[in-house]
Structure 1
Amino acid sequence: MPLLWLVLIVLALGVVGYVLGRQKAMTSADGDSRHLHSLPSYYGTNVSLFVVVPALLVMAAWLIVQPIYINSSVAADLPQSAVTDSNTLGLFMSDVRRVADGLDEAVAQGAMTREYANDLRAGFTDVRDRLADVGVALGSDVDASTLAAAQKYRSLSGTGNLAMTVVVLALAIAGFVYAYGRTQKDFRARNVVEQFIRAILVVAASIAILTTVGIVLSLVFNTIEFFKLYPAADFFFGTTWAPSFGGGSELGVLPLLWGTLYISVIALAVAVPIGLFAAIYLSEYAGPKARGFAKPLIELLAGIPTIVYGLFALLTVGPLLVNTFGKGGALGVDWMSGASSVTTAGLVMGIMLIPFVSSLSDDIINAVPQSMRDGSLGLGATKSETVKQVVLPAALPGIVGAILLAASRAIGETMIVVLGAGAAARLSMNPLEAMTTVTAKIVSQLTGDADFASPEALVAFALGMTLFVMTLGLNVLALYIVRKYREQYE
């Protein structure tokens, strides 16, 4: 049975359980809801939860465990000559899955019977021809052993899917019988439903936490593997970035950190003044109509995809800077040779960060108590003096937190850097030269068929760990400052 159908059947059973559970509760109370312990909807929700939640949880766990079991079972029967290492095994299993999908498609389109697809004695040439009839080309690297593995993979998948369907439906029916049998007017349905909802919320929060822990652990373990192959001192203090998958790589992170910080500083130099002044105007000077019009337009900048910003940097801002600072440009100097530069990426990234600074600063300034403004104005200060000497000093901790959050966003940006800053890893003070950042090199090191046993590929995890520590530190500092500010005025 297709997975979507199974999910829909379980949900339909949940709806039926809700209706019948609610109806039984009302019947037990002789149609008077005042005789029920809980509201009628709680009784229906109780039955529905017992039908849907256990069944879907088992289905999710099954979908995670089944592929692992099938892959290990198929890999155990492969000849040693076909699989030499983990990378070869991964490529072989991808071929197996592709052929298995082709067999399913051939059966679905009538090119072969299900019995023929499951017959390990089927002729390899005949199977290849039948798959070609439905548009599945096996390729010259797929041999009879791959076909046999695909047939076993398909057989195990079919058995597993059938077993999952039976177990999930049986569990849904059992949940309905159990919950429906307990439904009567004195049953504490509200308590059970609230406990169920609380458990779901705890699981959701745990998934978020475990996901973060999993990301950190994957970075840590792979970073440790990298430092087993490459000296940590050369990585943290090296001034040359020259990876070579053939050996002899120089993987110093300092040029990448320099490019990251340089571009981020230029971006903040653009975003902070514009965003802060916009926030002051919107919160202190703009009327309701002007604020209702301008604030959504500024926040629209945050919704533009970063790839669009990157194209804007590459096609508009970069050529404009070349026409100004390049050879034959408006200033008559030869300071810029190409459209990609630190300034190009920094300017466009600063535009992207304006709504981050503006929105957060606006909320923080609005949180300053009105009594402080009234007291300043009552003492004879003007509006501008009140903003400069009362409102901004009171909101300064929160504004600093907003700037730090924007800085962490700038440090982690990728697409604008890839398209606007170039790919050259260098230590230079010239903002009109092409440079690159940590995020851009993470992408380049993991692009293509990377050998994760080599330091050239594992260095991406060390770069990611370095970037993670930097942004984590900024975020922790920003949250600390913002919380301290909020505690002062709430």
Structure 2
Amino acid sequence: MDDKTKVRDIIRTNISTKRQTSDKVMPSFFLLMASVSVITTLGIIAVLVVDASKFFSAVPLTEVFSTKLAPLSANPSYGILPLITGTLMTTIIAMIVAVPIGLGAAIYLSQFASSKLRRILKPMMEILAGIPTIVYGFFAYSFVTPLLMNVIPSLQAKNALSPGIVMGIMIIPMIASLSEDAMNSVPEIMREGALGLGATKLETTFNVVVPAAISGIMASIVLGVSRAIGETMIVTIASGSSKNFTFDITQSMQTMTAYIVEFTSGDAGGGTLGYYSLYAVGLVLFIFTLLINLLAQYISRKYREVY
């Protein structure tokens, strides 16, 4: 047996041994890593459903979907509509602020800014995403609200308008960054073709690039909505804890997340109906965000352009 045959046999033996060990161990390891998020999600759902069922078994649905929420009164009521209204109003305000500014920033960075300017502006814009939300909350309460009071005298110290605006500012980097990535993924040949046919750069942007990137843009907007619905600290600090059913954004409103924060601070004793109402609100909030994420996936699949 020559040296080449010996070396070949040694390599074959080593490869066979390593393959046997890795093929047995690594797939199980990767399966465990992939199962962590699934198991965690199932655990969260199980906790919410089990404890929320204790609330829904004691409170009729006619009361749950009423406009009166007074969980700590002598005759408590658990109408969830004031919380849903507060959540939706602050979310709508946030998206009115975030969508036009975020899309405008994305269009400028992807279509008009030079590469040097883009390298400067994009990191500066994304710094907003790294600011803690509690800082945004104090900013909304101590700066934005007094500023708005000079314009809107009827604005209360705690209101829905101020946290909605600040949430919109917080969401801008998410919409801008994801939308810019979607626009940059549009093939350059499509831009060049439009320009070659005589279209201006602005016409190319709105008639070619934006329609081609619409799936990514819509996904970024829907994810922004999900982020606004789940926001906690900004609305807790700046929106207040009023449980009145109202559409007046100058007044104090309470969102679902702020309600959970208020009661987990010790207002509801363990095992009480008020305590289980936290899980009911949490389950409704989970369903809201789940539906929004499913909508984002549907829009992304429906309008995705394949190049």
Correspondence for 2:150 among 302, 323, 326: 323
**1:21 counterpart residue number:** none
* Structure 2: gaps of 5 or more residues: 1-5
Paired residue secondary structure (2:148): helix
Q: CA deviation at 1:35?
A: 5.2
Q: What RMSD over aligned residues (CA atoms) do the two structures have, in Å?
A: 2.0
Note if 1:276 corresponds to 2:103. yes
Cα contact 1:271–1:354 (8 A) shared by 2: yes
Structure-2 residue corresponding to 1:195: 24
Does structure 1 residue 397 correspond to structure 2 residue 224? no
Aligned positions, number: 303
- Are 2:50 and 1:233 equivalent residues in the alignment? no
Per-residue CA deviation, residues 244-273 of structure 1 (Å, 9 max, x unaligned), is: 2x7521110111100100000000000101
CA shift for structure 1 position 191: 3.4
Larger CA Rg, structure 1 vs 2: 1
Q: CA offsets, 1:171-229, max 9 Å, x none? A: xxxxxxxxxxxxx8575123312431221110011121011001001101111111111
Q: Deviations over 1:58-91 (max 9, x none)?
A: xxxxxxxxxxxxxxxxxxxxxxxxxxxxxxxxxx
Residues 290-305 of structure 1 correspond to what in structure 2 (within 5 A)? 290-305=117-132
Residue 173 of structure 2 aligns to a residue whose secondary structure is: helix
Question: Take 1:260 and 1:302, find their aligned partners in 2: how far apart are those partners?
Answer: 21
Equivalent residue in structure 1 for 2:82, among 245, 249, 255: 255
How many angstroms apart in 1 are the aligned matches of 2:34 and 2:167? 32
Q: Is the 8 A contact 1:341 1:434 kept in 2?
A: yes
Identity %: 44
Deviation at 1:301, TM superposition (A): 0.8
CA distance in 2, matches of 1:254, 1:449: 21
Higher relative contact order (CA 8 A, sep 6+): 2
1:289 aligned onto 2:289: no
Measured in 2, the distance between the counterparts of 1:261 and 1:362 equals: 27
Match for residue 336 of structure 1?
155
Give distance in 1, aligned partners of 2:123 and 2:9.
51
Which range moved further: 193-202 or 378-387?
Answer: 193-202
Q: Alpha-carbon deviation of 1:450?
A: 3.7
Contact 2:109 2:118 in 1 (8 A): yes
TM-score normalised according to structure 2 size = 0.93
> Residues 85 and 247 of structure 2 are in contact (CA less than 8 Å); yes or no, is this contact kept in structure 1?
no
Deviations 1:344-386 (A, max 9, x none): 1011101100011001100111112222212211111111111
After the TM superposition, which parts of structure 1 deviate over 6 Å for at least 4 consecutive aligned residues? none
Asked if 2 retains the 8 angstrom alpha-carbon contact of 1:37 and 1:189, the reply is no
- The CA deviation string for residues 392-416 of structure 1, in whole angstroms up to 9 with x for no partner, is 1222232112111100100000000
User: 1:422 touches 1:436 (CA, 8 Å); kept in 2?
Assistant: yes
- Asked if 1 retains the 8 angstrom alpha-carbon contact of 2:156 and 2:252, the reply is no
Q: In the aligned structure 2, how far is the partner of 1:409 from the partner of 1:36?
A: 57
TM-score (norm. length: structure 1): 0.59
Q: What secondary structure does 2:165 align onto?
A: helix
Once residues 387 and 249 of structure 1 are traced to their aligned partners in structure 2, the CA distance between those partners, rounded to angstroms, is 56
For structure 1, which runs of at least 5 residues remain unmatched after alignment? 1-31, 39-183, 327-334
The residue aligned with 1:172 is: none
